[in-house]
A = this chain, B = another copy of it.
Amino acid sequence: MDGVKFLLDLSVLLLGAKVFGLLAKRIGVPEVVGQIVAGLVFGPALLGFIQETEFLEQMAEIGVMMIMFEAGLNTDLKEMRRTGVKAAGIALVGVIVPMIMGAAVYLLFYGIGSSDGDVILRGLFIGTIISATSVSITVAALQELGRLNDTVGTAITGAAIIDDVIGIVALTVVISMKGGNGASGIGSVLLKVVLFFVLAIGSGVVINKGMHFLDERFPHTRRIPIASLCYCFLLGYVAETYFGIADITGAYLAGVVLCNLSDRDYINEKVSISSYMVFAPLFFTGIGLKTSFSTVNARLLIFSILFTAVALAAKVIGCGGCAWLMGFKRKDALKIGIGMMSRGEVALITAQKGLAAGLLDADFFTSVILLIVISSIVTPILLKRVYQN
Protein backbone atom coordinates (compact mmCIF):
# COMPACT_ATOMS: atom_id res chain seq x y z
CA MET A 1 0.00 0.00 0.00
CA ASP A 2 1.59 3.24 -1.14
CA GLY A 3 -0.34 5.42 1.21
CA VAL A 4 -3.80 6.11 2.36
CA LYS A 5 -4.33 9.47 0.68
CA PHE A 6 -7.39 7.96 -1.00
CA LEU A 7 -9.08 7.83 2.40
CA LEU A 8 -8.69 11.58 2.71
CA ASP A 9 -10.02 12.05 -0.83
CA LEU A 10 -13.02 9.89 -0.04
CA SER A 11 -13.92 11.67 3.17
CA VAL A 12 -13.57 15.16 1.65
CA LEU A 13 -15.50 14.30 -1.51
CA LEU A 14 -18.30 12.34 0.19
CA LEU A 15 -18.82 14.93 2.90
CA GLY A 16 -18.42 17.79 0.44
CA ALA A 17 -20.92 16.20 -1.96
CA LYS A 18 -23.44 15.82 0.85
CA VAL A 19 -23.02 19.37 2.15
CA PHE A 20 -23.12 21.01 -1.29
CA GLY A 21 -25.98 18.72 -2.28
CA LEU A 22 -28.01 19.85 0.72
CA LEU A 23 -27.18 23.50 0.03
CA ALA A 24 -28.33 23.05 -3.57
CA LYS A 25 -31.61 21.58 -2.38
CA ARG A 26 -32.02 24.53 -0.07
CA ILE A 27 -31.96 26.94 -3.01
CA GLY A 28 -34.28 24.72 -5.02
CA VAL A 29 -31.68 23.12 -7.27
CA PRO A 30 -31.33 19.33 -7.65
CA GLU A 31 -28.90 17.66 -5.28
CA VAL A 32 -26.71 16.27 -8.07
CA VAL A 33 -25.86 19.81 -9.16
CA GLY A 34 -24.51 20.50 -5.69
CA GLN A 35 -22.42 17.36 -5.89
CA ILE A 36 -20.87 18.44 -9.20
CA VAL A 37 -20.14 21.86 -7.71
CA ALA A 38 -18.43 20.14 -4.77
CA GLY A 39 -16.06 18.53 -7.27
CA LEU A 40 -15.41 21.92 -8.86
CA VAL A 41 -14.72 23.48 -5.47
CA PHE A 42 -12.32 20.85 -4.11
CA GLY A 43 -10.77 19.99 -7.47
CA PRO A 44 -8.20 21.78 -9.65
CA ALA A 45 -10.78 24.30 -10.86
CA LEU A 46 -10.91 26.09 -7.51
CA LEU A 47 -9.17 24.93 -4.34
CA GLY A 48 -6.97 22.29 -5.99
CA PHE A 49 -7.23 20.24 -2.82
CA ILE A 50 -8.02 16.96 -4.60
CA GLN A 51 -6.68 15.68 -7.90
CA GLU A 52 -8.41 13.07 -9.96
CA THR A 53 -6.81 9.65 -9.52
CA GLU A 54 -7.31 6.35 -11.29
CA PHE A 55 -8.95 5.07 -8.12
CA LEU A 56 -11.47 7.90 -8.05
CA GLU A 57 -12.19 7.42 -11.76
CA GLN A 58 -12.88 3.74 -11.21
CA MET A 59 -15.11 4.45 -8.21
CA ALA A 60 -16.98 7.01 -10.34
CA GLU A 61 -17.41 4.44 -13.09
CA ILE A 62 -18.95 2.01 -10.60
CA GLY A 63 -21.18 4.86 -9.45
CA VAL A 64 -22.55 5.67 -12.90
CA MET A 65 -23.03 1.97 -13.61
CA MET A 66 -25.06 1.63 -10.43
CA ILE A 67 -27.21 4.61 -11.42
CA MET A 68 -27.88 3.12 -14.84
CA PHE A 69 -28.46 -0.34 -13.39
CA GLU A 70 -31.07 1.09 -11.04
CA ALA A 71 -32.70 2.92 -13.95
CA GLY A 72 -32.90 -0.37 -15.84
CA LEU A 73 -34.19 -2.19 -12.78
CA ASN A 74 -37.02 0.30 -12.40
CA THR A 75 -38.08 0.03 -16.03
CA ASP A 76 -41.78 -0.34 -16.65
CA LEU A 77 -41.68 -2.89 -19.48
CA LYS A 78 -45.18 -2.11 -20.70
CA GLU A 79 -44.37 1.59 -20.85
CA MET A 80 -41.15 0.75 -22.65
CA ARG A 81 -42.89 -1.29 -25.33
CA ARG A 82 -45.39 1.49 -25.81
CA THR A 83 -42.75 4.19 -26.25
CA GLY A 84 -40.08 2.07 -27.99
CA VAL A 85 -40.63 3.21 -31.58
CA LYS A 86 -41.01 6.83 -30.59
CA ALA A 87 -37.81 6.60 -28.54
CA ALA A 88 -35.92 5.26 -31.57
CA GLY A 89 -37.18 8.15 -33.68
CA ILE A 90 -36.22 10.69 -31.04
CA ALA A 91 -32.77 9.13 -30.77
CA LEU A 92 -32.15 9.18 -34.51
CA VAL A 93 -33.22 12.79 -35.06
CA GLY A 94 -31.39 13.65 -31.83
CA VAL A 95 -28.15 12.45 -33.40
CA ILE A 96 -28.61 13.98 -36.85
CA VAL A 97 -29.54 17.51 -35.75
CA PRO A 98 -26.53 18.00 -33.41
CA MET A 99 -24.18 16.62 -36.06
CA ILE A 100 -25.33 19.17 -38.58
CA MET A 101 -25.46 22.06 -36.11
CA GLY A 102 -22.07 21.13 -34.62
CA ALA A 103 -20.47 20.98 -38.05
CA ALA A 104 -22.04 24.32 -38.95
CA VAL A 105 -20.72 26.16 -35.92
CA TYR A 106 -17.23 24.72 -36.46
CA LEU A 107 -17.17 25.74 -40.10
CA LEU A 108 -18.43 29.19 -39.21
CA PHE A 109 -15.61 29.57 -36.72
CA TYR A 110 -12.65 27.75 -38.16
CA GLY A 111 -13.73 26.87 -41.69
CA ILE A 112 -13.90 30.24 -43.42
CA GLY A 113 -10.67 30.81 -45.32
CA SER A 114 -9.18 27.55 -44.12
CA SER A 115 -6.87 25.69 -46.49
CA ASP A 116 -7.35 22.43 -44.59
CA GLY A 117 -8.95 19.90 -46.91
CA ASP A 118 -10.35 17.96 -43.98
CA VAL A 119 -12.23 20.92 -42.57
CA ILE A 120 -15.69 19.55 -43.32
CA LEU A 121 -14.73 16.21 -41.83
CA ARG A 122 -13.41 18.00 -38.76
CA GLY A 123 -16.68 19.84 -38.49
CA LEU A 124 -18.65 16.63 -38.77
CA PHE A 125 -16.47 15.21 -36.02
CA ILE A 126 -17.31 18.11 -33.72
CA GLY A 127 -20.91 17.31 -34.53
CA THR A 128 -20.38 13.68 -33.62
CA ILE A 129 -18.97 14.61 -30.23
CA ILE A 130 -22.12 16.46 -29.30
CA SER A 131 -24.44 13.80 -30.70
CA ALA A 132 -24.14 11.38 -27.76
CA THR A 133 -26.42 12.01 -24.81
CA SER A 134 -25.18 10.80 -21.41
CA VAL A 135 -28.40 10.19 -19.67
CA SER A 136 -27.08 9.37 -16.20
CA ILE A 137 -27.42 12.92 -14.92
CA THR A 138 -30.97 13.12 -16.28
CA VAL A 139 -31.81 9.74 -14.76
CA ALA A 140 -30.57 10.91 -11.37
CA ALA A 141 -32.53 14.16 -11.69
CA LEU A 142 -35.72 12.34 -12.73
CA GLN A 143 -35.24 9.92 -9.83
CA GLU A 144 -35.02 12.87 -7.47
CA LEU A 145 -38.26 14.21 -8.98
CA GLY A 146 -39.89 10.76 -8.83
CA ARG A 147 -40.63 10.89 -12.56
CA LEU A 148 -38.26 8.30 -13.98
CA ASN A 149 -40.87 5.71 -14.97
CA ASP A 150 -43.71 7.64 -16.57
CA THR A 151 -44.09 7.94 -20.32
CA VAL A 152 -41.72 10.89 -20.66
CA GLY A 153 -39.09 9.33 -18.37
CA THR A 154 -39.18 6.05 -20.25
CA ALA A 155 -38.95 7.82 -23.60
CA ILE A 156 -35.89 9.76 -22.46
CA THR A 157 -34.10 6.71 -21.08
CA GLY A 158 -34.95 4.57 -24.08
CA ALA A 159 -33.91 7.27 -26.55
CA ALA A 160 -30.62 7.85 -24.72
CA ILE A 161 -29.74 4.15 -24.86
CA ILE A 162 -30.52 3.93 -28.57
CA ASP A 163 -28.74 7.24 -29.16
CA ASP A 164 -25.58 5.73 -27.67
CA VAL A 165 -25.64 2.97 -30.26
CA ILE A 166 -26.38 5.33 -33.15
CA GLY A 167 -23.57 7.55 -31.88
CA ILE A 168 -21.11 4.68 -32.12
CA VAL A 169 -22.12 4.04 -35.71
CA ALA A 170 -21.84 7.74 -36.54
CA LEU A 171 -18.40 7.89 -34.97
CA THR A 172 -17.23 4.95 -37.05
CA VAL A 173 -18.65 6.45 -40.22
CA VAL A 174 -16.84 9.76 -39.73
CA ILE A 175 -13.55 8.16 -38.76
CA SER A 176 -13.70 5.73 -41.67
CA MET A 177 -14.34 8.65 -44.03
CA LYS A 178 -10.98 9.96 -42.90
CA GLY A 179 -9.23 6.59 -42.89
CA GLY A 180 -10.48 5.28 -46.22
CA ASN A 181 -11.53 1.74 -45.29
CA GLY A 182 -15.10 2.94 -45.04
CA ALA A 183 -17.53 0.15 -45.81
CA SER A 184 -15.74 -2.64 -43.97
CA GLY A 185 -15.32 -0.54 -40.81
CA ILE A 186 -18.97 0.42 -40.76
CA GLY A 187 -20.03 -3.14 -41.52
CA SER A 188 -18.03 -4.58 -38.64
CA VAL A 189 -19.38 -1.97 -36.21
CA LEU A 190 -22.96 -2.69 -37.25
CA LEU A 191 -22.30 -6.39 -36.92
CA LYS A 192 -20.90 -5.88 -33.42
CA VAL A 193 -23.91 -3.82 -32.39
CA VAL A 194 -26.29 -6.50 -33.65
CA LEU A 195 -24.24 -9.28 -32.05
CA PHE A 196 -24.18 -7.47 -28.72
CA PHE A 197 -27.94 -7.10 -28.62
CA VAL A 198 -28.40 -10.72 -29.66
CA LEU A 199 -26.04 -11.76 -26.89
CA ALA A 200 -27.58 -9.42 -24.31
CA ILE A 201 -31.11 -10.58 -25.07
CA GLY A 202 -30.16 -14.25 -25.38
CA SER A 203 -28.15 -14.34 -22.15
CA GLY A 204 -30.74 -12.07 -20.58
CA VAL A 205 -33.44 -14.71 -21.05
CA VAL A 206 -31.24 -17.34 -19.39
CA ILE A 207 -30.14 -15.03 -16.56
CA ASN A 208 -33.72 -13.92 -16.00
CA LYS A 209 -34.88 -17.55 -15.68
CA GLY A 210 -31.96 -18.42 -13.38
CA MET A 211 -32.53 -15.43 -11.13
CA HIS A 212 -36.27 -16.15 -10.96
CA PHE A 213 -35.42 -19.66 -9.77
CA LEU A 214 -32.91 -18.33 -7.20
CA ASP A 215 -35.36 -15.69 -6.08
CA GLU A 216 -38.15 -18.18 -5.47
CA ARG A 217 -35.94 -20.54 -3.50
CA PHE A 218 -34.06 -17.94 -1.47
CA PRO A 219 -36.13 -14.76 -1.39
CA HIS A 220 -34.62 -11.78 0.46
CA THR A 221 -31.14 -13.23 0.82
CA ARG A 222 -27.93 -11.36 0.16
CA ARG A 223 -27.03 -13.60 -2.75
CA ILE A 224 -29.83 -12.06 -4.84
CA PRO A 225 -28.56 -8.45 -4.93
CA ILE A 226 -24.92 -9.56 -5.04
CA ALA A 227 -25.46 -11.82 -8.04
CA SER A 228 -27.46 -9.04 -9.72
CA LEU A 229 -24.72 -6.50 -9.22
CA CYS A 230 -22.11 -8.94 -10.56
CA TYR A 231 -24.23 -9.44 -13.66
CA CYS A 232 -24.40 -5.67 -14.09
CA PHE A 233 -20.59 -5.33 -13.87
CA LEU A 234 -20.06 -8.27 -16.18
CA LEU A 235 -22.43 -7.12 -18.91
CA GLY A 236 -20.90 -3.64 -18.74
CA TYR A 237 -17.43 -5.13 -19.08
CA VAL A 238 -18.42 -7.33 -22.01
CA ALA A 239 -20.23 -4.47 -23.79
CA GLU A 240 -17.27 -2.11 -23.59
CA THR A 241 -14.45 -4.57 -24.10
CA TYR A 242 -15.77 -6.82 -26.86
CA PHE A 243 -18.43 -4.74 -28.60
CA GLY A 244 -17.29 -1.13 -28.24
CA ILE A 245 -20.58 -0.24 -26.56
CA ALA A 246 -20.51 1.89 -23.39
CA ASP A 247 -20.37 -0.09 -20.15
CA ILE A 248 -23.28 1.95 -18.79
CA THR A 249 -25.46 0.67 -21.63
CA GLY A 250 -24.60 -2.85 -20.49
CA ALA A 251 -25.40 -1.91 -16.90
CA TYR A 252 -28.76 -0.48 -17.94
CA LEU A 253 -29.66 -3.59 -19.95
CA ALA A 254 -28.68 -5.80 -16.99
CA GLY A 255 -31.18 -3.84 -14.94
CA VAL A 256 -33.88 -4.28 -17.58
CA VAL A 257 -33.23 -8.04 -17.63
CA LEU A 258 -33.89 -8.23 -13.89
CA CYS A 259 -36.75 -5.71 -13.73
CA ASN A 260 -39.51 -8.30 -13.41
CA LEU A 261 -38.03 -10.26 -10.49
CA SER A 262 -40.20 -10.41 -7.41
CA ASP A 263 -37.22 -9.26 -5.35
CA ARG A 264 -36.66 -6.29 -7.63
CA ASP A 265 -37.26 -3.79 -4.83
CA TYR A 266 -34.95 -5.72 -2.52
CA ILE A 267 -32.15 -5.60 -5.09
CA ASN A 268 -32.86 -1.96 -5.76
CA GLU A 269 -32.65 -1.08 -2.07
CA LYS A 270 -29.28 -2.77 -1.52
CA VAL A 271 -27.71 -1.36 -4.68
CA SER A 272 -29.17 2.07 -4.03
CA ILE A 273 -27.68 2.23 -0.52
CA SER A 274 -24.24 1.18 -1.75
CA SER A 275 -24.63 3.75 -4.49
CA TYR A 276 -25.60 6.80 -2.43
CA MET A 277 -23.25 5.99 0.47
CA VAL A 278 -20.09 5.88 -1.64
CA PHE A 279 -20.19 5.46 -5.40
CA ALA A 280 -22.74 7.83 -6.93
CA PRO A 281 -21.39 10.98 -5.20
CA LEU A 282 -17.94 10.10 -6.53
CA PHE A 283 -19.37 10.03 -10.04
CA PHE A 284 -20.91 13.47 -9.68
CA THR A 285 -17.96 15.07 -7.91
CA GLY A 286 -15.76 13.41 -10.55
CA ILE A 287 -17.36 15.57 -13.25
CA GLY A 288 -16.30 18.65 -11.31
CA LEU A 289 -12.83 17.26 -10.63
CA LYS A 290 -12.13 16.92 -14.37
CA THR A 291 -12.38 20.66 -14.85
CA SER A 292 -9.53 23.14 -14.79
CA PHE A 293 -9.27 26.51 -16.43
CA SER A 294 -5.62 26.54 -17.40
CA THR A 295 -5.34 26.34 -21.21
CA VAL A 296 -8.05 28.75 -22.26
CA ASN A 297 -7.56 31.58 -24.75
CA ALA A 298 -10.17 34.12 -25.82
CA ARG A 299 -11.04 32.60 -29.18
CA LEU A 300 -11.31 29.10 -27.72
CA LEU A 301 -13.45 30.43 -24.90
CA ILE A 302 -15.88 32.10 -27.27
CA PHE A 303 -15.98 28.98 -29.42
CA SER A 304 -16.54 26.84 -26.30
CA ILE A 305 -19.47 28.94 -25.18
CA LEU A 306 -21.03 28.89 -28.64
CA PHE A 307 -20.28 25.17 -28.97
CA THR A 308 -21.98 24.48 -25.64
CA ALA A 309 -25.00 26.59 -26.50
CA VAL A 310 -25.37 24.87 -29.87
CA ALA A 311 -24.92 21.43 -28.32
CA LEU A 312 -27.69 22.10 -25.80
CA ALA A 313 -30.02 23.74 -28.30
CA ALA A 314 -29.48 20.98 -30.86
CA LYS A 315 -30.87 18.33 -28.53
CA VAL A 316 -33.85 20.44 -27.55
CA ILE A 317 -34.60 21.14 -31.22
CA GLY A 318 -33.80 17.63 -32.48
CA CYS A 319 -35.24 15.45 -29.74
CA GLY A 320 -37.92 17.81 -28.52
CA GLY A 321 -39.03 18.67 -32.05
CA CYS A 322 -39.15 15.05 -33.09
CA ALA A 323 -41.09 14.10 -29.94
CA TRP A 324 -43.59 16.86 -30.68
CA LEU A 325 -44.00 15.70 -34.27
CA MET A 326 -44.54 12.14 -32.99
CA GLY A 327 -47.50 13.24 -30.95
CA PHE A 328 -46.11 14.16 -27.55
CA LYS A 329 -47.70 17.20 -25.96
CA ARG A 330 -45.67 20.34 -26.35
CA LYS A 331 -44.67 20.45 -22.72
CA ASP A 332 -43.71 16.79 -22.65
CA ALA A 333 -41.69 17.26 -25.84
CA LEU A 334 -39.83 20.08 -24.10
CA LYS A 335 -39.14 17.80 -21.13
CA ILE A 336 -37.73 15.18 -23.49
CA GLY A 337 -35.58 17.73 -25.32
CA ILE A 338 -34.18 19.07 -22.06
CA GLY A 339 -33.70 15.58 -20.62
CA MET A 340 -31.56 14.63 -23.62
CA MET A 341 -29.31 17.69 -23.27
CA SER A 342 -26.86 16.24 -20.79
CA ARG A 343 -23.51 15.02 -22.03
CA GLY A 344 -20.93 12.97 -20.24
CA GLU A 345 -18.02 10.62 -20.57
CA VAL A 346 -19.18 9.32 -23.97
CA ALA A 347 -18.46 12.77 -25.42
CA LEU A 348 -14.99 12.66 -23.87
CA ILE A 349 -14.28 9.19 -25.20
CA THR A 350 -15.45 10.24 -28.66
CA ALA A 351 -13.16 13.27 -28.48
CA GLN A 352 -10.24 11.04 -27.52
CA LYS A 353 -10.85 8.84 -30.55
CA GLY A 354 -10.94 11.93 -32.76
CA LEU A 355 -7.62 13.05 -31.34
CA ALA A 356 -6.10 9.69 -32.16
CA ALA A 357 -7.50 9.84 -35.71
CA GLY A 358 -6.17 13.35 -36.26
CA LEU A 359 -9.65 14.85 -36.57
CA LEU A 360 -9.50 17.00 -33.44
CA ASP A 361 -7.03 19.37 -31.81
CA ALA A 362 -6.23 18.76 -28.15
CA ASP A 363 -7.40 22.31 -27.38
CA PHE A 364 -11.00 21.33 -28.01
CA PHE A 365 -10.94 19.08 -24.97
CA THR A 366 -11.53 22.20 -22.92
CA SER A 367 -14.70 22.86 -24.93
CA VAL A 368 -15.89 19.30 -24.43
CA ILE A 369 -15.29 19.40 -20.69
CA LEU A 370 -17.04 22.74 -20.44
CA LEU A 371 -20.00 21.26 -22.32
CA ILE A 372 -20.12 18.30 -19.93
CA VAL A 373 -19.97 20.43 -16.80
CA ILE A 374 -22.45 23.05 -17.98
CA SER A 375 -24.91 20.52 -19.37
CA SER A 376 -24.63 18.47 -16.17
CA ILE A 377 -25.53 21.53 -14.12
CA VAL A 378 -28.09 23.10 -16.43
CA THR A 379 -30.05 19.96 -17.35
CA PRO A 380 -31.26 19.03 -13.85
CA ILE A 381 -32.09 22.65 -13.04
CA LEU A 382 -34.17 23.16 -16.19
CA LEU A 383 -35.71 19.73 -15.83
CA LYS A 384 -36.90 20.52 -12.33
CA ARG A 385 -38.32 23.80 -13.57
CA VAL A 386 -40.34 22.32 -16.47
CA TYR A 387 -41.67 19.61 -14.19
CA GLN A 388 -42.77 22.06 -11.59
CA ASN A 389 -44.51 24.52 -13.89
Contact = CB atoms under 8 A, between A and B. Distances in A.
Interface stretch (A158-166, A169-177, A266-274, A356-364): A266-274
B18 A226 contact: yes
A222 B1 contact: no
Interface of A: 1-8, 10-12, 14-15, 18, 22, 54-55, 57-58, 61-62, 65, 222-223, 225-227, 229-231, 233-234, 236-237, 240-241, 247, 270-271, 273-274, 276-278, 345, 349
Contacts of A274: 273-274, 277-278
B277 A226 contact: yes
A237 B14 CA distance: 15
A1 B61 contact: yes
Contacts of A14: 226, 229-230, 233
A5 B234 CA distance: 10
Contacts of A55: 54-55, 58
Given A274-B274, A276-B222, A277-B271, A4 B236 contact: yes
Q: Would you list the 7 A-B pairs with minimal beta carbon distance, nearest first? A: A7-B237, A11-B233, A11-B230, A11-B234, A15-B230, A7-B233, A274-B277
Interface centre among A58, A227, A345 (most CB of B within 10 A): A58
A11 B240 CA distance: 15
B237 A11 contact: yes
Contact of A18 (B57, B223, B241): B223
A234 B12 CA distance: 8
* Of A4, A222, A229, A247, most B-chain CB atoms within 10 Å: A4
Contact of A7 (B222, B234, B270): B234
Given A226-B277, A270-B273, A276-B222, A234 B8 contact: yes
5 contacts: A5-B241, A22-B223, A54-B54, A222-B276, A225-B277
Contact of A58 (B6, B223, B227, B233): B6
Nearest to A275: B274
Contacts of A237: 4-5, 7-8, 11
A17 to B, nearest CB: 8
Given A7-B237, A54-B54, 14 more contacts: A4-B61, A4-B236, A7-B234, A7-B240, A11-B237, A14-B226, A18-B223, A18-B226, A54-B55, A55-B55, A55-B58, A222-B277, A273-B277, A274-B274
